[in-house]
Amino acid sequence: MKALAARRHDRRAPVVLLLLALLLTGGLYAVLAPTSAKAESSVASADDVKAGEKLFQANCATCHGPSAAGTASAPSLIGVGAAAVDFQVGTGRMPMQMNGPQAQVKPAQFDDEQISQLAAFVASLGAGPAIPTDDQVDPSKGDPATGMALFRTNCAMCHNAVGAGGALSRGKFAPNLWETSPRHLYEAMLTGPQSMPVFNDANITSEEKRDIIAFIDEQGNVSPGGLDLGSIGPVSEGLWAWVVGLGLLIGAAVWIGAKSS
Amino acid sequence: MTTTSTPTPTARAAAATADYLDQRTGIGVAVKTFARKIFPDHWSFLLGEIALYSFVTLLISGVFLTMFFVPSMAETTYHGPWASLNGVEMSQAFSSTLRLSFEVRGGLLMRQVHHWAALIFMASIVTHMMRVFFTGAFRKPRELNWVVGFTLMILGLLAGFSGYSLPDDVLSGNGLRITDGVVKAIPIIGSYMSYFIFGGEFPGNDLIPRLFTVHILLVPALILALIGLHLLFVVLHKHTQYPGSGRSDKNVVGFPLFPIYVAKAGGYFFVVFGVIALMAATMTINPVWNYGPYDPSPVSAGAQPDWYMLFLEGSLRLMPGQAEVMLGQYTLSLNVIIPAMIVPGVLFTLLAAYPFIEAFATGDNREHHVLDRPRNRPFRTAFGVSLLVAFFILVLAGSNDLIATHFHLSINDITWVFRFLLFLGPWAAFVITKRICLGLQRKDRELVLHGHETGRIVRFASGEYIEVHKPLDAHERWLRVQHDAVRPVEIEPAEDSRGVRRKGYRTDRLRQRISQVFYEDRVEPVTPSELEAAHHAHGGHDEIGSHDHGHEPAQVGGGQHLVEPDGETGPDARNH
Ligand code: HEM
């Protein structure tokens, strides 16, 4: 079991590679990685936890406290689980650097191994949601139509109909989801980062989460009607109608008018 | 009619047909007079034509769409090429829209042509209206045509709204839901009205077929009829023209309708159609497959109406929710009534009634065929700009979430800023625009009296320096002095010579008050005597005071200017 888990961790290539691999090898991939989520959380090595603790003390303890029990400036991490850490650190939100309405996304500060060590450490503090398996987040196995229906009722009010992003109160916002990796999508639902609600498995089952991932995966790839103008709806269409449409037409009118005199 | 020396067979056939028609309908006379009608030439006169041609485009593409669209709210299950909707329950209206988009050849292009044409139609109507407003083209005898035009704009809004609601996607359903809310907010009869419109509780099963009738029959027929009336008025009144030498209220300087204007206008149709087709071919509009079929529960971020309805959305978004009051056991939803009925009501009433208000304040019932330069009517220009600013702020408020995400601002702050701006913005715009207009008028006076600066400095033997000014030529001067000096109206006293109260005095008082608001601040055009005086003063470099605030020059009454351009620049020279 140990060897298997270690191999899995090693194979956890950068996000982009993963996506590419998914696209290229499709079904083959599923056969190679049939591990379940349960296996994951229970088998972090003691070394990983140790290394993770070191990293934590150096980078996170100032805010989250030396025992990760939280301080006045940051919440406790006991029980948030490996998924929360993998998401927060993997998307570059943590360690937080700038004060603002919400933790900003920036280039990830740690490599994959360090992230998994940090995750192992936080997971060792208390039971919490684990990092999903590749199978759980494989868009090719989800049904985008069910995903669309679920997304519309659970997510679109914040993230826009196709996940292009939207505004929340006081400068907070729900980000665009098109560049988010399937794993981070899953983890975001599972852990509910910052102002986003948590969608645990009782709410949206693991398969349904994969359907949602399949739906998001479809976005931003094909745009049957031409340029998508940001997919933010009628406001950008109106803007373009004035700028391009009326702009060109008035230009032509001035040209025709000028021709006479 | 047929005087060609060697007619080709086609020409002969054409001539014979024309002759046949002429002998039976007498159409030749009409065609001849019409073809000889003179049209003045200016790019801004083409704005109305953009509206006309985009409407034609709407008709053509709309006919195509009706062949495939199914106006029914009956449930069906979608099976088609768009994976993320496969197997989803939806109305036939929505599924036929998807079929149009993905399965009918050219269907998506036609849908996009139709929608882009609608946006451009409304945009051109608004710019056309601005042109008419700022140049004073609505003055007698064209007030009625302004009202016809205004009705066309309202019908355009109605056409856009009813069309937007047809595909039965989430966005269109959201729009209808808001409409339902607004209707229900009407005191007493609101809920009955809503049941009446939707055929039961919202959304019901009747609405789409009803909207379909409105959208493809009722509104287009009305628009078509009113466009006919509108253009008939334009022909009857003749087109207005911009001021310039040789142009007066009694002539029209321009090109005959045929062949020059027809060629230009006909060519312009293809420009308009081409631009719309280009946009439709390259830019997505209303991707309903992203929004999914309507279902009352979900509302997505970025749910907005098309731009011409956005001001209503903004008005609703700005209104604080606390305005709802309870009267006994009844709720009076002022939080909806004010933004959704009173605000647009005020904006639209002011617009529709403006020509009449201005005529009342000016006390003017002459005919006008020469347009105003906007600077010469500071009140009107400033008023128009402030209405536009109010409209624009509401549009921005309707997009507050997008402003928040794109500029990383807090949506709450933006909303508060707009709440204040809605009152301060139009006021500031009014003051500033009026200042600018008065300033430009003063500059015109300067130019007329002193001429252009040449930068050439001359020193006299006495040691005095002057800059040489080049006098304006007749055209330039005429443009700057031709307009009327409009002053606040003078009224007769309240009592006649025998001390009896005069009938109509109260109306006159009101007129006087409004008139003062309109015309108190003004700069008078240069009068001939002033010009004379300036010419006598050496070189014309002295400061000659401009006459603000009621300083009356010797000449009384507007509309007389003696500085006519000389013969060389008369109408004939330009009217070829
Ligand atoms: C369906 C929408 C409309 C169409 C197709 C249309 C079309 C036209 C056309 C082709 C002209 C002559 C050329 C020009 O001056 O631009 C014209 C003139 C005019 N329009 Fe419109 N128009 C529309 C809406 C409006 C609106 C909303 C108003 C104002 C409330 C308006 C007021 C006028 C007036 C007063 C004239 C006479 C202008 C003059 O003689 O200088 N129209 N219209």
A149, A229, A241 member nearest B307 (Cβ): A241
Contact B88 A149 (CB under 8 A): yes
Average pLDDT over residues A199-226: 82
pLDDT band at B52 (very low <50, low <70, confident <90, very high): very high
| Tens digit of each residue's pLDDT (9 = 90 or more) over B82-98 | 888 888 889 999 999 99
Q: Which atom of ligand 1 is nearest to the CA of B352?
A: 30
Percent of chain A with pLDDT over 90: 5
For residue B71, whether the previous peptide bond is cis, meaning omega lies within 30 degrees of 0, is no
| Tens digit of each residue's pLDDT (9 = 90 or more) over B31-48 | 777 666 666 678 888 899
| Tens digit of each residue's pLDDT (9 = 90 or more) over B123-169 | 999 999 999 999 999 998 899 999 999 999 999 999 999 999 999 99
Q: Are B18 and B1 in contact (CB under 8 A)?
A: yes
Whole-angstrom CA distances from B348 to B121, B343, B351 are 19, 9, 5
Q: Output the pLDDT for position A140.
A: 81
To test the pocket of ligand 1, the residue of B230, B236, B356, B367 to mutate (highest count of ligand atoms within 8 Å of its CB) is B230
Q: Output the pLDDT for position A24.
A: 55
| Tens digit of each residue's pLDDT (9 = 90 or more) over B488-521 | 888 887 777 787 887 888 888 888 888 888 888 8
Q: What are phi and psi of B50, to 5 degrees?
A: -55, -45
Q: In this structure, which amino acid lies at residue A254?
A: V
Class of domain B45-290+306-372: mainly alpha
Instruction: Note the maximum CA span of chain B.
Output: 98
Q: Output the pLDDT for position A12.
A: 52
- Tell me if chain B has a CB within 8 Å of the CB of A66: no
To test the pocket of ligand 1, the residue of B234, B235, B358, B391 to mutate (highest count of ligand atoms within 8 Å of its CB) is B234
Select from A152, A249, A259 the residue whose CB has the most chain B CBs within 10 Å, as the one to mutate to test that interface. A249
Residue ranges of alpha helices (H) inside chain A are: 2-11, 15-25, 27-32, 37-42, 46-59, 61-64, 81-90, 112-125, 144-154, 156-159, 182-191, 206-218, 234-240, 247-260
CA dihedral A107, A108, A109, A113 (to 10 degrees): -150
Q: Output the pLDDT for position B471.
A: 83
Ordered DSSP codes for B499-516: SPBPTTHHHHHHHHHHHH
pLDDT band at B6 (very low <50, low <70, confident <90, very high): low
| Tens digit of each residue's pLDDT (9 = 90 or more) over A127-148 | 778 888 877 888 888 888 888 8
**pLDDT of residue B237 exceeding 90:** no
For residue B259, whether the previous peptide bond is cis, meaning omega lies within 30 degrees of 0, is yes
Question: Among B175, B199, B219, which Cα is nearest to B340's?
Answer: B175
**pLDDT of residue A17 exceeding 70:** no
Give the distance from residue B198's alpha carbon to the nearest chain A alpha carbon, in angstroms: 24
Question: Among B483, B482, B249, B488, which Cα is nearest to B362's?
Answer: B488
| Tens digit of each residue's pLDDT (9 = 90 or more) over B57-69 | 999 999 999 999 9
> Residue A64's CB: how many other CB atoms inside 10 A?
24
| Tens digit of each residue's pLDDT (9 = 90 or more) over A35-50 | 434 334 445 677 888 8
Average pLDDT, chain B: 84
- Tell me if chain B has a CB within 8 Å of the CB of A254: yes
- Tokens matching residue A10: 């090693």
| Tens digit of each residue's pLDDT (9 = 90 or more) over B371-386 | 889 999 999 999 999 9
Q: Output the pLDDT for position B551.
A: 38
Please state, in angstroms and rounded to a whole number, the distance separating the CA atoms of residues B189 and B282: 46
Q: Give the domains, in start order, of chain A with CATH numbers.
A: 40-124 (1.10.760.10), 139-224 (1.10.760.10)
- Tokens matching residue B102: 């993905």
Where is average pLDDT lowest: A165-169, B232-236, B435-439?
A: A165-169
**pLDDT of residue A16 exceeding 70:** no
DSSP-derived 3-state class of residue B200: coil
To test the pocket of ligand 1, the residue of B124, B132, B373 to mutate (highest count of ligand atoms within 8 Å of its CB) is B132
Q: Which residues line ligand 1 (CB under 6 A)?
A: B 45, 47-49, 51-52, 55, 125, 128-129, 132, 137-138, 142, 145-146, 149-150, 152-153, 156, 223, 227, 230, 234, 239-240
Please state, in angstroms and rounded to a whole number, the distance separating the CA atoms of residues B328 and B306: 38
Give residue B128 CA to ligand 1 midpoint distance, Å: 6
- Tokens matching residue B423: 């009152």
**pLDDT of residue B559 exceeding 90:** no
Q: Which residue has the higher pLDDT, B430 or B250?
A: B430
Q: Output the pLDDT for position A40.
A: 43
Residue the block writes with tokens 């099976």 = B79
Ordered DSSP codes for A23-91: HHHTHHHHHH----HHHHHHT--HHHHHHHHHHHHHHTHHHH-TTSS--SSS---TTSHHHHHHHHHHT
Q: Which residue has the higher pLDDT, A109 or B110?
A: B110
Sequence-ordered list of residues with C-beta below 8 angstroms from that of B515, at least 6 positions apart, any chain: B361, B362, B363, B488, B489
Question: Among B169, B302, B471, B204, which Cα is nearest to A173's?
Answer: B302
- Tell me if chain B has a CB within 8 Å of the CB of A135: no
Question: Among A10, A193, A94, which Cα is nearest to A185's?
Answer: A193
Give residue B310 CA to ligand 1 midpoint distance, Å: 23
B260, B275, B298 member nearest A157 (Cβ): B298
Where do the structural domains in chain B lie, given as residue ranges?
45-290+306-372, 441-506+527-569
| Tens digit of each residue's pLDDT (9 = 90 or more) over A87-108 | 888 887 887 777 777 777 777 7
Contact A227 B41 (CB under 8 A): no
- Tokens matching residue B360: 């009342």
Q: How many residue contacts between A and B have a Cβ separation below 8 Å?
A: 204
- Tokens matching residue A93: 């939100």
pLDDT band at A11 (very low <50, low <70, confident <90, very high): low
Average pLDDT, chain A: 76
